[in-house]
Amino acid sequence: MARGTKPGRRPPVTVRSGPSIGTVIGVVLVVLFAGAVGVGVYLTQRSAGDVVVPPGATASGVVVGPETAPTTLDVYLDFQCPACQAYEQQSGSTIEELVDSGAARVVYHPVAYLDRFSGTEYSTRSSAASGCAAEAGVFPQYLDLLFANQPPEGGDGLTQDTLIALGEQAGAGPDFATCVAEDRYTAWTAALTDEASRAGITSTPTVLADGVEIARTDDALRAAVAG
């Protein structure tokens, strides 16, 4: 190097480092977690199938009464069943009294066992319409009206227009007619019926108190609630 000549300075080198190992691991974990959540949601939706549950109801039936009630009554009924109508006429007021006092809550299971006796699947149509009534918040009133206007077993049953008119009489809102006309809760009825069959319910009405079948009398209801 010649005297007096200074070596040139090299320009500073900027090193662009990639994400740290910790950052990479964090991103991977987030992606894996998001994927797991997505799969969980997908499986949940798939397991739910196409059954739409009415607001005001559950996948098992329509609950009437306080959740804190010490006794749960399960009533399996078919709106085409004459014996169910007779039971409602006999014990409906007793059940209402027990519910109003907070002593019991009732889970109504409107199954469709008697479709084979109707040319229009009236059991299914009336049950699905009761799901519309549950959505409208008038299930107990609608139940009373369906039994008060029960058609003869083995016929075509009430028309869709009559089912709608009874809902309006019960106090259902303007969406009730659409709900009934589009058979919104037919799949719910089918699921209820299948569940009841798998649970060993072979006839209607069947009444359970905390899971144990009881006689279809007022005395049996009161004794079950009294514990």
| pLDDT for res 173 | 94
Residue 51 in contact with residue 191, Cβ under 8 Å?
yes
| pLDDT for res 165 | 98
Query: How is the chain split into domains, by residue range?
Result: 21-50, 62-226
| pLDDT for res 63 | 97
| pLDDT for res 49 | 56
Which class would CATH give 62-226?
alpha beta
Q: What is the pLDDT along the chain (227 residues), one digit of tens a residue?
A: 333 333 343 333 333 444 454 443 443 333 333 333 333 332 323 334 579 999 999 999 999 999 999 999 999 999 999 999 999 999 999 999 999 999 999 999 999 999 999 999 999 999 999 999 999 999 999 999 999 999 998 899 999 999 999 999 999 999 999 999 999 999 999 999 999 999 999 999 999 999 999 999 999 999 999 97
Per residue, the 3-state secondary structure of the chain, as one string, reads: CCCCCCCCCCCCCCCCCCCCHHHHHHHHHHHHHHHHHHHHHHHHHHHHCCCCCCCCCCCCCEEECCCCCCEEEEEEECCCCHHHHHHHHHHHHHHHHHHHCCCEEEEEEECCCCHHHCCCCHHHHHHHHHHHHHHHCCHHHHHHHHHHCCCCCCCCCCCHHHHHHHHHHHCCCCHHHHHHHCCCCHHHHHHHHHHHHHCCCCCCCEEEECCEECCCCHHHHHHHHHC
Residue 151 in contact with residue 73, Cβ under 8 Å?
no
pTM (predicted TM-score): 0.79
| pLDDT for res 8 | 41
